[in-house]
């Protein structure tokens, strides 16, 4: 792939960071992806199962076109992409500059273990004497100071936790490859000057510092210190404030004047802390309060040492920065701790429970209590711990907890084969997302999860058994005591650690709850242009929303880079960088890493070479010392350059590490990396390491020979033809001219590609034409006018109003779509991608006397009537709002997400206009998710009365002329209430307006409710399964204006991946059809999950679109004639490999 001129930085390598980075990299920008942790993946490294599939599936986020540019294995294990540079253990220290040209300073913590040399043998952990709680298992287990941050990462080098490490050096001695380099000697070069007028302080400090390996000099007074500073170079000065003669502050001033880079830490008595703080303003780094012990001082000195001496600092210039720093989780032991967390061992957080369920967790996936090993057979989840709680300063709903609690119930039930009893104690079950409601219903009816609408008051531990007794009142007012094996607290979200400091550094505001504040109608833009946020960093998102929003952030970043001159011009224009070896016979160069010459001790190298050479395809066998080091790699490159083989086989450990290196080798030598192979010999090396050092064992040559011969067999039959490509017609079509459609069209057009915007009505605007304002109080009119004007004036956007799509034909890269205007004139438009933004509308109803009684209106009508003043709030005395009319029950069993917010908006507005109106909201579960919760609190405070009802006992309505009487059962007071109302407002929810034939014309599917069926709700939320078709806005799922804009931006971003290339390469592994054998049975067409196969009727042949094909091989397995084959895995090659393995 060609690199664009333009770079971006993504901060945080969790799910949103990865999504944003991949999106930008796929367009062709260079991306620097950093994370402060020593591993990638964020919270998802700890979560094995995700709703709604109850599995993972993260790999579906990997590139679908030009697949070979990135890694193609489990994304939880790791990622590489040729346009992404990943820096771990790295933090951002400053951001300067302007959009398009930010100068960013980074600081990377030292690793102490050379990642390339670490073979993951784990001998270091065996000898490490330090044990600390394991954060990967949420503190449920323990680990050593040298450890694997994530057990499943690839490559997976050990790291040292310097905060815990005692620098005993045992691991350094034990390491068989010399990867651990504690470099204690280097500490000697770190010179510290201690300035204090008390001898005892000087002496003890000297002793402590020298114990840690630092060099320390002493000075008894200010002038003496200045004198020493002028003679020698020091890195750090520990300076007392109160000294006779010259005081510390004066010394600091003079020292800083002489050497501005000197780090100074003030030592102060408690009484003079203020002076120390003042000193920090004139250049001191920090202060220590006397008296202090080594435990307080040494970590500070070590940190300073690591920061200035061993950290690598870097400066990067990028066009835009996306912050995807994720989120933290509420710690229930904070504050009053009513649930006894950390008091009783069997009260755990949801994250701890995820680890208990996990196979890599402390219980190896057995559902037992970590403390006493008792099987968990009865468990309770308590919702809203640290959410919806004013007591913990959380007037918000965390969005994720309801669904993950249900998921945990289902996964745990599956693990125990249904033996587990699960109860969820909740206040409102917030199933507001697409497919959430059905998932919940299924959990209740099919899997027997018990949902108890109650807030648990007391959590009491039974000391004898360790069981937990919950004391609660059910919805009918009955009190219960129930005993559980384990209680799981569904903890809510909190701003990620360091968010406040970051906002200060970047000068971007935070919202009242400490999350990053975004601009109105955007989920990604901060107040500073070019600084964007993705994922849960701006608060309260689940995976699906995070991924959508990360794509939207990538789009905004791309816009900034594009506007600042980062263009679509490719840096390198050469189309095929690789040598054509199609007509050459295989000529294999075998390079074997001798791993620091240790091989020759155990192995007859000559014999091995002779054995390998017996294959005529092998022209040379070479031995190189440590291909993992830069030096070893250079000699390997030289060998390839010298002998110019057309296949290369490397025998080394950790083949995954080589993916990136092979691409680099390909670029340098002109050999296609798909003609290179790494044979894994790592496990053999492990055998050597594990054996007794003195024992003279000889390994049979054959044990080394087999993996190499398998590699040779694979290379011999490797297909040298270039990767297929398809041309792209660089123009997009957006169907639907609402806010989502317009936003998507603008986003694409702003990147310099033409867009056809097709709208069936005469006017652009969709639902914004009647919508007045949002719950947050933003007026939508200016947004509509602004966007509409931009769209209409944009030279790259062709607006077709009053036009309908009649038919479409084609696939990604080239669609031919026929549209018809009002006069019936048809035209055919050509485009490379399609975005469906056909929107939705309020559902019609005839429930609750709607239509026959004029006092019964819908929420939409109320909004319109309030704005055109046909309803005067002053004339109303009592209003009843009924939520979930005809929805959240079959056949429309989904939450429309906006109705509760509308009800709150109107209730608050009516109360504000006329404080004496009595307002009653009849609801099932109030879906005031996220920060909307605060408006629910406000509505309560404003005196709106909320009455919960059950589907089985819906409210009734009795019309009598103008007035209406609503009867409903109030479960709190346990009896029916009758409300005289002069206005009844129905929330009927949203139905999509995506005609099935329209979706089918483009090859997209609709779900059972008529919404666009996405490829994967979490990992590919705006894509159709067929490449090249995307959806956004309400056509996708019910959404607010802001959320619709975010999906539109995400869809635009996904389109730009394809549009920004004239030709899109497929992957090396694609299916093809041997036409001579094909009997046109079409079984493969049905089997293809990506819709990449179709019957070309003109040619009478089944054809494969190579870009849409993902190389899964389903077609090859169903084909009765072996006509369908997978290139990259031909049968003969596979059989040869098996033969080599079994000989």
Contact partners, residue 123, CB within 8 Å, separation at least 6? 171, 174, 175, 176, 689
697-702, Cβ contacts within 8 angstroms, sequence gap of 24 or more: 697/602, 698/602, 698/603, 698/604, 699/602, 699/603, 701/603, 701/604, 701/607, 701/608, 701/611, 702/611
In the complex with other proteins, the residue whose CB is nearer, 384 or 881, is 384
Q: Of residues 257, 390, 630, 825, which one binds other proteins by CB under 8 A?
A: 390
The nearest distance, CB 486 to other proteins, in angstroms, is 20
Q: Using CB under 8 A, which residues numbered 449 to 478 contact other proteins?
A: 454-458, 471-473, 475, 477
CB of 974 to other proteins, least distance (A): 7
Between CA 28 and CA 41 the distance in angstroms is 22
User: Between 133 and 974, whose beta carbon lies closer to other proteins?
Assistant: 974
> Shortest Cβ distance from residue 396 to other proteins (Å)?
13
Based on CB atoms, which residue is closest to other proteins, 205 or 944? 944
**Stretch 855-884 residues interacting with other proteins (CB under 8 A):** 877-878
Least distance (Å) from other proteins to the CB of residue 840? 30
Q: Angle, to 10 degrees, between the axis of helix 15-27 and the axis of helix 543-563?
A: 40
Q: Is 299 in the site for other proteins (CB under 8 A)?
A: no
In the bound state with other proteins, the residue whose beta carbon lies nearer, of 425 and 1030, is: 425
CA atoms within 13 A on the CB side of 969: 11
CA dist., res. 570 & res. 374, Å (int): 62
Nearest to 805 by CA among 1012, 997, 1048, 1034: 997
> In the complex, what is the shortest distance from the CB of residue 393 to other proteins, in angstroms, rounded to a whole number?
9
Mark 267-286 with x for binding to other proteins (rule: CB under 8 A) and - for no binding.
Answer: --------------------
Provide the 10 A C-beta neighbour count for residue 800.
Answer: 20
Among 357, 376, 384, 624, contact with other proteins (rule: CB under 8 A) = 384
Q: Is 941 in the site for other proteins (CB under 8 A)?
A: yes
Near other proteins by CB under 8 A: residue from 281, 336, 793, 869: 336
Helix (H, G, I), strand (E, B) or coil at 360: coil
Question: Please, which of residues 959-988 interact with other proteins by CB under 8 A?
Answer: 970, 972-974, 977-981
Q: Which residues contact 767 (CB under 8 A, 6 or more apart)?
A: 738, 739, 839, 840, 841, 1034
Nearest CA to 659 out of 79, 30, 31 is that of 79
Looking at 207, 822, 916, 1063, which residue binds other proteins (CB under 8 A)? 916
Nearer to other proteins, 792 or 978 (CB): 978
Q: Closest distance between other proteins and the C-beta of residue 902, in Å?
A: 19
The stretch near other proteins (CB under 8 A) out of 177-185, 568-576, 858-866, 915-923 is 915-923
The distance of closest approach from Cβ of residue 862 to other proteins in the complex, given in angstroms and rounded to an integer, is 19
> Residues 468 to 527: which contact other proteins by CB under 8 A?
471-473, 475, 477, 479
End-to-end C-alpha distance for the chain, whole angstroms: 40
Considering the complex, state which of residue 138 and residue 927 has its C-beta at the smaller distance from other proteins. Answer: 927
For other proteins, the closer of residues 469 and 807 by Cβ is: 469
Selected from 300, 328, 427, 639, the binder of other proteins by CB under 8 A is 427
* SS3 labels along 201-212: HHHHHHHHHHHC
Question: 463 near 345, Cβ under 8 Å?
Answer: no
> Would you tell me how many other CB atoms lie within 10 Å of the CB of residue 226?
17
Q: Which is nearer to other proteins, 350 or 524 (CB)?
A: 350
343 part of the interface to other proteins, by CB under 8 A: no
Instruction: Count Cβ atoms below 10 Å from residue 973 Cβ, excluding itself.
Output: 10
Q: Which of 436, 1041, 1143 is nearest to 787 (CA)?
A: 1041
Of 384 and 403, nearer to other proteins (C-beta) is: 384
When the beta carbons of 380 and 990 are compared against other proteins, the nearer one is 380
The smaller minimum CB distance to other proteins, of residues 11 and 968, is found at: 968
Tokens read off for 203 = 């002496």
Q: Which is nearer to other proteins, 472 or 633 (CB)?
A: 472
Peptide bond into 891 cis (omega under 30): yes
Q: Are 62 and 25 in contact (CB under 8 A)?
A: no
Strand duo 30-34 + 7-11: pairing: parallel
Q: Among 375, 943, 1089, 1100, which residue sits at the site for other proteins (rule: CB under 8 A)?
A: 943
Number of residues that bind other proteins (CB under 8 A): 41
In DSSP notation, 640-700 reads HHHH--SEEEEEES-GGGHHHHHHHHHHHH---GGGEEEEE-HHHHHHHHHS-SS------
Cis peptide before 291 (omega within 30 of 0): yes
Q: Which stretch binds other proteins (CB under 8 A): 49-57, 223-231, 941-949, 1085-1093?
A: 941-949
Measured distance CA(834)–CA(814) in Å, rounded = 10
Per CB under 8 A, 948 contacts other proteins? yes
Minimum Å distance from CB 453 to other proteins?
9
Q: Is 818 in the site for other proteins (CB under 8 A)?
A: no
Comparison of 296 and 972: residue with beta carbon closer to other proteins: 972
Minimum distance from residue 942 beta carbon to other proteins (Å): 8
Residue (424 or 550) nearer to other proteins, CB: 424
In this structure, the number of other CB atoms found within 10 A of the CB of residue 1097 comes to 7
**CB 880 → other proteins: shortest distance, Å?**
10
**What letter would DSSP give residue 61?**
G
Which parts of this chain interact with other proteins (CB under 8 A)? 336, 338, 384, 388-391, 427, 454-458, 471-473, 475, 477, 479, 877-878, 916-918, 937, 940-943, 945-946, 948, 970, 972-974, 977-981
């Amino acid at each position: 792939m060609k690199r664009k001129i333009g770079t971006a930085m993504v901060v945080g390598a969790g799910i949103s960071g990865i999504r944003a980075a991949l999106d930008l990299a796929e367009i062709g920008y260079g991306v620097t992806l950093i994370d402060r942790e020593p591993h990638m993946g964020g919270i998802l490294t700890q979560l094995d199962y995700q709703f709604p599939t109850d599995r993972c599936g993260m790999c579906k986020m990997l590139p679908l076109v030009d697949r070979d540019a990135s890694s193609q294995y489990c994304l939880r294990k790791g990622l590489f992409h040729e346009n992404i540079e990943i820096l771990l253990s790295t933090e951002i220290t400053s951001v300067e500059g302007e959009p398009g040209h930010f100068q960013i300073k980074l600081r990377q913590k030292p690793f102490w273990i050379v990642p390339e040399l670490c073979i993951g043998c784990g001998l270091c952990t065996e000898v490490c004497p330090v044990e600390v709680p394991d954060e990967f298992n949420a503190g449920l287990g323990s680990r050593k100071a040298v450890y694997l941050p994530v057990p499943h990462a690839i490559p997976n080098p050990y790291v040292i936790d310097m905060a815990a490490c005692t620098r005993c050096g045992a691991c350094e001695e034990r390491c068989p490859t010399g990867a651990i380099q504690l470099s204690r000697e280097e500490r000697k070069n770190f010179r510290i000057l201690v300035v204090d007028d008390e001898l005892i302080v000087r002496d003890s400090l000297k002793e402590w510092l020298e114990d840690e390996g630092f060099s320390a000099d002493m000075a008894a007074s200010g002038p003496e210190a200045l004198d020493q500073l002028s003679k020698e170079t020091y890195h750090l000065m520990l300076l007392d404030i109160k000294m006779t003669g010259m005081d510390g502050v004066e010394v600091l001033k003079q020292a800083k004047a002489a050497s501005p880079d000197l780090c100074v830490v003030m030592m102060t008595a408690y009484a003079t802390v203020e002076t120390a703080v003042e000193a920090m303003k004139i250049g001191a780094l920090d202060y220590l309060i006397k008296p202090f012990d080594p435990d307080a001082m040494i970590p500070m000195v070590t940190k300073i040492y690591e920061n200035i001496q061993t950290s690598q600092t870097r400066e990067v210039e990028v066009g835009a920065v996306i912050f995807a720093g994720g989120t933290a989780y509420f710690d229930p032991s904070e504050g009053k701790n009513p649930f006894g967390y950390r008091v009783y061992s069997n009260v755990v957080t949801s994250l701890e429970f995820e680890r208990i369920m996990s196979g890599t967790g402390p219980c190896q996936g057995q559902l037992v209590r970590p403390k006493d090993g008792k099987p968990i057979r009865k468990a309770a989840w308590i919702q809203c711990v640290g959410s919806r709680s004013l007591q913990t300063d959380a007037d918000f709903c965390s969005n994720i907890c309801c669904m993950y609690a249900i998921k945990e119930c289902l996964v745990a039930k599956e693990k125990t084969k249904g033996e587990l009893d699960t109860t969820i104690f909740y206040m409102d079950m917030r199933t507001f997302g697409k497919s959430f409601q059905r998932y919940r219903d299924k959990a209740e009816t099919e899997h027997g999860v018990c949902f108890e609408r109650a807030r648990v008051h007391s959590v009491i531990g039974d000391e004898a058994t360790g069981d937990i007794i919950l004391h609660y009142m059910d919805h009918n007012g009955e009190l219960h005591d129930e005993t559980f094996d384990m209680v799981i607290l569904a903890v809510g979200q909190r701003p990620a650690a360091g968010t406040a400091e970051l906002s200060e550094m970047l000068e971007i505001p935070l919202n009242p709850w400490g999350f990053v504040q975004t601009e109105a109608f955007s989920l990604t833009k901060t107040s500073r242009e070019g600084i964007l946020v993705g994922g849960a960093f701006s608060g309260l998102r689940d995976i699906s929303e995070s991924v959508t929003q990360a794509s939207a952030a990538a789009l905004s970043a791309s816009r900034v880079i594009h506007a600042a001159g980062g263009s679509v011009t490719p840096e390198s224009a050469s189309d095929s960088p690789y040598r054509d070896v199609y007509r050459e016979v295989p000529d294999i160069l075998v390079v074997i890493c001798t791993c620091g010459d240790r091989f020759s001790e155990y192995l007859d190298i000559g014999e091995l070479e002779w054995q390998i050479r017996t294959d005529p395809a092998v022209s040379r066998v070479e031995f190189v010392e440590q291909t993992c080091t830069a030096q070893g790699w250079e000699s390997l490159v030289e060998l390839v350059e010298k002998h110019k083989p057309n296949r290369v086989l490397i025998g080394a450990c950790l083949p995954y590490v080589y993916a990136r290196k092979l691409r680099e080798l390909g670029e340098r030598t002109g050999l296609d990396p798909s003609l290179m192979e790494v044979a894994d010999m790592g496990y053999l090396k492990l055998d050597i390491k594990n054996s007794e050092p003195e024992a003279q064992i000889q390994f049979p040559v054959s044990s080394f020979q087999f993996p190499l011969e398998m590699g040779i067999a694979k290379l011999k039959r490797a297909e040298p033809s270039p990767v297929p490509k398809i041309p792209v017609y660089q123009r997009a079509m957006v169907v639907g001219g609402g806010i989502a459609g317009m936003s998507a069209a603008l986003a694409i057009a702003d990147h310099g590609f033409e867009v056809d915007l097709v709208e069936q009505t005469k006017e652009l605007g969709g639902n914004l034409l009647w919508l007045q304002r949002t719950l947050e109080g933003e007026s939508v009119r200016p947004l509509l006018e602004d966007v509409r004007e931009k769209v209409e004036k944009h030279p790259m956007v062709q607006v077709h109003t009053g036009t309908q799509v009649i038919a479409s034909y084609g696939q990604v890269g080239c669609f031919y779509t026929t549209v018809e205007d009002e006069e019936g004139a048809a035209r055919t438009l050509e485009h490379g991608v399609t975005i469906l933004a056909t929107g939705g509308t309020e559902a019609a109803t005839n429930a609750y006397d709607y239509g026959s009684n004029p006092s019964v209106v819908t929420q939409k009508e109320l909004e319109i009537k309030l704005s055109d003043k046909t309803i005067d709030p002053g004339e109303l005395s009592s209003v009843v709002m009924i939520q979930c009319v005809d929805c959240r029950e079959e056949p429309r069993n989904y939450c429309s997400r906006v109705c509760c917010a509308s009800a709150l908006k109107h209730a608050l507005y009516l109360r504000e206009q006329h404080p004496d109106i009595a307002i009653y909201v009849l609801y099932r579960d109030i879906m005031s998710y996220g920060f909307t919760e605060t408006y629910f609190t406000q509505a309560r405070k404003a005196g709106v009365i909320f009455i919960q009802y059950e589907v089985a006992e819906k409210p009734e309505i009795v019309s009598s002329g103008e007035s209406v009487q609503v009867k409903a059962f109030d479960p709190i007071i346990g009896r029916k209430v009758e409300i005289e109302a002069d206005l009844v407002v129905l929330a009927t929810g949203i139905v999509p307006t995506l005609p099935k034939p329209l979706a089918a014309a483009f090859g997209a599917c609709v779900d059972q409710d008529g919404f666009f069926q996405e490829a994967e709700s979490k990992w590919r939320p705006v894509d159709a399964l067929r490449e090249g078709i995307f959806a956004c806005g309400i056509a996708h799922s019910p959404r607010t204006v802001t959320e619709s804009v975010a999906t539109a931006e995400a869809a635009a971003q996904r389109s730009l991946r394809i549009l920004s290339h004239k030709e899109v390469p497929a992957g090396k592994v694609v299916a093809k059809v041997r036409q001579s054998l094909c009997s046109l049975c079409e079984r493969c067409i049905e089997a293809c999950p990506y819709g990449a196969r179709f019957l070309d009727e003109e040619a009478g042949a089944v054809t494969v679109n190579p870009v849409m094909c993902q190389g899964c091989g389903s077609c090859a397995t169903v084909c009765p004639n072996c006509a369908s084959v997978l290139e990259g895995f031909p049968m003969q090659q596979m059989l040869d490999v098996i033969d080599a393995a079994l000989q």
